[in-house]
A and B are shown apart, each in its own frame.
Chain A
Amino acid sequence: NAGVTQTPKFQVLKTGQSMTLQCAQDMNHNSMYWYRQDPGMGLRLIYYSASEGTTDKGEVPNGYNVSRLNKREFSLRLESAAPSQTSVYFCASNRGGGVGYGYTFGSGTRLTVV
Chain B
Amino acid sequence: DQQVKQNSPSLSVQEGRISILNCDYTNSMFDYFLWYKKYPAEGPTFLISISSIKDKNEDGRFTVFLNKSAKHLSLHIVPSQPGDSAVYFCAAYAGGTSYGKLTFGQGTILTVHP
Interfacial residues, chain A to chain B (CB-CB below 8 A): 4, 31, 33, 35, 40-45, 48, 50, 56, 58, 90, 92, 94, 96-108
Contact = CB atoms under 8 A, between A and B. Distances in A.
Interface stretch (B13-21, B39-47, B61-69): B39-47
B106 A42 contact: yes
Interface of B: 4, 6, 9, 32, 34, 36, 41-46, 49, 89, 91, 93, 95, 99-107
A98 B34 contact: no
Contacts, number: 73
Contact of B99 (A41, A50, A90): A50
B104 A43 contact: yes
B44 A50 contact: no
A103 B95 CA distance: 15
B100 to A, nearest CB: 4
Contact of A90 (B44, B46, B105): B44
A33 B91 CA distance: 14
A90 B43 contact: yes
Of listed B46, B102, B103, residue having the most chain A CB within 10 A: B102
B102 A107 contact: no
A102 B46 contact: yes
A48 B99 contact: yes
A31 B45 contact: no
B15 to A, nearest CB: 27
Nearest to A58: B101
Given A48-B101, A94-B100, A99-B102, A4 B32 contact: no
B102 A45 contact: yes
Contact of A44 (B6, B32, B95, B104): B104
